[in-house]
Structure 1
């Protein structure tokens, strides 16, 4: 009887570590969004460009339709994230080329249009991480180089063009997913308002108050160091 009890005790001691290893499953690692990253992005934008007309130096009156347009944009971004529990704070900058272009169809007697040439932004990001999924909001300073132009007659050549740099703000939201420890992909919506600027057309003898803004949806990929 004593031998049976001793054998049972030894058997239990032998099986205990094995059973414990089976019961305690490995804990899956949680993705860390902290770190520097660089990436590429591309998207499509829809612009609204108010362009009230004025005699040179005079008050503006709305005698023209908007020079609304659409087109592609794409470029690169760089940023840094820092994760605090499930919250992620970050700073990001981007720079893009664009072919967003539109005109008023000649509503004021001349065809007047506006082209977005290149643009960029420096924005903060605030996100909430669900392991490899990051839901975030973003906003900050935005700038853009654009060209306002007038076409001589319907279907004619560009008679006058003036470029200017605009400064404004951007706000948006997005979702990002980490496929690997280093590679992430995102989809993002952003609204950008570049403020207004008075642009003169001395050859045609009038001014316009150009007020450009646009909505854009972007897809991007990033490499996190």
Structure 2
């Protein structure tokens, strides 16, 4: 009985010493090294902001729409530009594959997002057409430019440095978006001294269109694996989506400039295969 008690006490002391020094009791208790290699899929949400459509407005070009106008004495506000500052939220899905060799990681990822990114800009101007018969009238006009991005996506490569359950990476590739744009103008007569009756209907205008834009995306981010097969990520992407849709109405047209976005996202990924 005493010998059995001594053996049990020795075993307990040996186990306690092993735990205190960090020595594993058996080789099978060694914690595995995390690997990023494999397929993954997840969800993300974020925010985007940047430059959108811009319209060139030339009120003087509208004077020629009035019948019998004297261009030498008629006046209009100076030409100006209306630019749309776009912003809004986004959210969607992503999926990809990683290859890890030591600390080096390479991968490919595709994502698609539903977007509430958009904006509008408005500007006013004055017109004073003077007619050959000597009469004149005063008008005020308003132009509105809008842009909305319904959804967008990217297909990108990733290159990064993996250390245990942390990953830092740079990324770049193709970007696309479905864009809607519109131009609207309206006018109001401030006085009514015209002998030539009527208001040129062509003075008011409306045009809209929608379509897909193709461009590129570059950025970077970080990812942290907080549990087996699960990770959280934070990412910044700059998207250049190419030129907006071609639109024009009397006195106003969209400029040929690129649509740009700065997006910030957070996401949750699950590794679905090693």
Question: TM-score normalised to the size of structure 2?
Answer: 0.65
CA shift for structure 1 position 105: 2.5
Alpha-carbon distance in structure 2 between the residues aligned to 1:39 and 1:191? 21
The match for 2:50 among 47, 57, 61 is: 47
Say which of 61, 84, 109 aligns to 1:92.
109
- Structure 2 counterpart SS, 1:189: strand
2-side partners of 1:51 and 1:98: how far apart?
20
Q: Deviations along 1:54-93, whole A, 9 cap, x unmatched?
A: 89xxxxxx83132112100111111000101011100000
Deviation at 1:50, TM superposition (A): 4.4
Note the C-alpha offset of 1:52.
Answer: 4.4
Pick the aligned partner of 1:177 from 202, 219, 224: 224
User: Does residue 149 of the first structure (1) align with residue 182 of the second (2)?
Assistant: yes
Could you tell me which residue of structure 1 aligns to residue 4 of structure 2? none
Is residue 55–residue 145 contact of structure 2 (8 Å, CA) maintained in 1?
no
| Count of aligned pairs between the two proteins | 200
CA distance in 1, matches of 2:258, 2:30: 54
Match of 1:32, SS state, is coil
1:217 equivalent among 234, 259, 264:
264
Specify which of 95, 98, 101 is matched with residue 78 of structure 1: 95
> Does 2:210 correspond to 1:163?
yes
Contact 2:82 2:145 in 1 (8 A): no
Aligned-pair CA distance for 1:117: 1.1
Q: Which residue does 1:120 correspond to in 2? A: 153
**CA root-mean-square deviation:** 2.8
Query: Quick one: structure 1 residues 107 and 193, their matched pair in 2 at CA, closer, same or farther if it must change by over 3 Å?
Result: farther
Structure of larger gyration radius = 2
Cα 1:52–1:205 change in 2 (3 A) is: closer
1:105 maps onto 2:122 in alignment: yes
Instruction: Render the CA deviation track for 1:118-144: whole Å, top value 9, x for unaligned.
Output: 111100001111211111111100011
CA shift in 2, pair 1:210/1:162, >3 Å? farther
Would the aligned equivalents of 1:65 and 1:107 in 2 still touch at CA under 8 Å? no
Aligned counterparts of 1:107 and 1:140: Cα–Cα separation in 2? 40
Which of 218, 230, 253 is 1:207 aligned to? 253
For normalisation by structure 1, the TM-score amounts to 0.78
